[in-house]
Amino acid sequence: MYTRKNQRDLTRTEKRRLVDAILKLKRSGRYDDFVVMHREYYVMDTERRPRPAHMTSSFFPWHRQYLLEFEKALQRVDAGVSVPYWDWTRDNRTTSSLWAEDFLGGNGRPGDRRVTTGPFAYAAGNWSVGRGVTDEHYLTRNFGRPGSDPVSLPTANDLARALKDPVYDTAPWNSVCTEGFRNRVEGWGIRGVRTVGLHNRVHQWVGGPMAGAASPEDPVFWLHHSFIDLIWDRWRKAHPKSAYRPGRKPASPGPDRDYVFGLDEAMPPWRVTPRKLLDHSKVYRYA
Amino acid sequence: MSPTPAKPGGTRIPSRRTVLRGAFTAAVVTGTAGALLPLLDRDPAAADGPAPAPGPGSGSGSRATTEEFAEMYRGREIRGTTTVVVPAGAPADDRGAVAAEPVTEIRIDGRPLHVMRRADGTYLSDVRHYESYPTLLETARAAVDELGTARLAPPAAHHM
């Protein structure tokens, strides 16, 4: 049993140990395996194959296991670390300690948007990106996407509204579900209904790799998804009678149901079911 | 194709020249009753449904649409084409599947941008992966905005 803390409550030492563990994982090549894995399982809801990670009901459990695997890898480097969470409804300023020199470093500089501060700055010599999307090797960020189409971080009210929905997910279990907690938090924009929200919006706000197909290239990915994981806990607590959906697979599932993971369907690549991931209280807790 | 050098400093480039914007050309006809129903050249307000209704004559023809553009946007050369050919005689399921996988290509400064499609028919790309757009042109411009001064990876590295 270990604790995942709010990143704002980490001590200097805790930050340093986490950063060191991430850098060691990067040097070993294991970190990049996680980047590739996320890309591999990010299947679109127009594809005719299983869709475990995004645009799907198992968005929460898939990422829960993904974070657990990453955390296990970190803990093999340093048994005392865990993945903290970034509550972007509170720490929504570019001056947050999250982005300080001693933690994740700050925004990209004007021009090439290169991150030049903190341990993940390219010049520090420990961090390079570019697994297949761009040919730059330095980490970039573009907080708020200033310009013609800016993005703001979601507010506490935005989150509260999503948490009110008592239904976990609805058919067709994809990116165009207008109802259901899952897609409200995953945050797909739906024309005439709502714009990009919560989870997706935070990816947009950070910019650089976080906005793209290789989003775990920016270590803030893990802190963002740790909070998404906590949000799932909060929803379960608020709606104790609401179940994960969908449940049992019908004998002849239609195309909507065929590629999503119900409560007892094992998700790749770990072959773990959403049911097994509902209760994490024996593994970690949030503080 | 030689890449257009990005403007130093990544400042917004106000001038942009649209060479050919949103030229929707229905071009592929098989069979005799060549009724074509464009999938993309629609009123956005009417485009909310997952798939358009089959047009008249759909029993014997096929539906096709292409979106083509080539323009300079913020100093980058963007080009795109997509072709959707839907056998109108196919069952509703199959028609949806075919429509979901149009042959699309976007290039930014000559390098391919990987583009995907959502269930509502909108597009997203490897560069901007958490937001989607009704047309390839908007998808390409959004990718340029997100890239800033960075270039896309060369095709060999594209799929890791």
pLDDT digits (tens, 9 = 90+) for B58-75: 333 444 556 899 999 999
- Number of domains within chain B: 1
* A144 contacts chain B (CB < 8 A): no
Q: Which residues of A touch B145 (CB under 8 A)?
A: 145, 147-149
| Span A215-235, pLDDT tens digits | 999 999 999 999 999 999 999
% of chain B beyond a pLDDT of 70: 44
Query: Closest-CA residue in chain A for B134?
Result: A191
For B96, nearest residue in chain A (alpha carbons): A46
Q: How far is B153 from chain A (nearest CA, A)?
A: 4
C-alpha B99/C-alpha A46 separation (Å) is 9
Query: From A214, which residue of chain B is nearest by alpha-carbon distance?
Result: B126
* Residue B87: per-residue pLDDT: 57
Q: Which residues contact B135 (CB under 8 A, 6 or more apart)?
A: B22, B40, B67, B123
Mean pLDDT of B139-157: 91
Kind plus residue range of the DSSP H or E element containing A76: helix A59-77
**Domain containing residue B136: CATH number:** 3.30.1880.10
Q: What is the pLDDT of residues A68-117, one digit of tens each?
A: 999 999 999 999 999 999 999 999 999 999 999 999 999 999 999 999 99
Please state the separation of Cα A243 from the chain's center in Å: 22
Distance from the Cα of A134 to chain B's closest Cα (Å) equals 4
Range of the domain at B42: 17-150
Decide if B126 and A255 are in contact by the 8 Å CB cutoff.
Answer: no
Q: Search chain A and give the residue with CA nearest B159.
A: A132
Mutate to test the interface with B, among A55, A107, A109, A133 (most CBs of B within 10 A): A133
Quick check: is B12 in a domain?
A: no
The Cα B29–Cα B123 span in angstroms is: 25
Domain ranges of chain A: 2-286
Regarding pTM above 0.90, the answer is: no
pLDDT per residue as tens digits for the range A247-257: 998 888 888 89
pLDDT in tens, B42-57: 333 333 334 433 333 3
The number of CA neighbours under 13 Å toward the Cβ of A180 is 26
Q: How far is A14 from chain B (nearest CA, A)?
A: 31
User: What number is the average pLDDT over the span A263-271?
Assistant: 98
Give the class (CATH, top level) of A2-286. Answer: mainly alpha
Answer yes or no: are the C-beta atoms of A238 and A230 closer than 8 Å: no
Place B93 in a pLDDT band, splitting at 50, 70 and 90: low
Query: Is A233 in contact with A226 (CB distance < 8 Å)?
Result: no
B interface with A, Cβ–Cβ below 8 Å:
8-12, 44-45, 47-48, 50, 93, 96-97, 100-101, 114, 116-120, 122, 126-132, 134, 142, 145-154, 157-160
Q: Which amino acid is at B146?
A: E
- Please check whether residue B35 lies inside any domain of the structure: yes
Q: Match 């090549």 to its residue by tokens.
A: A29
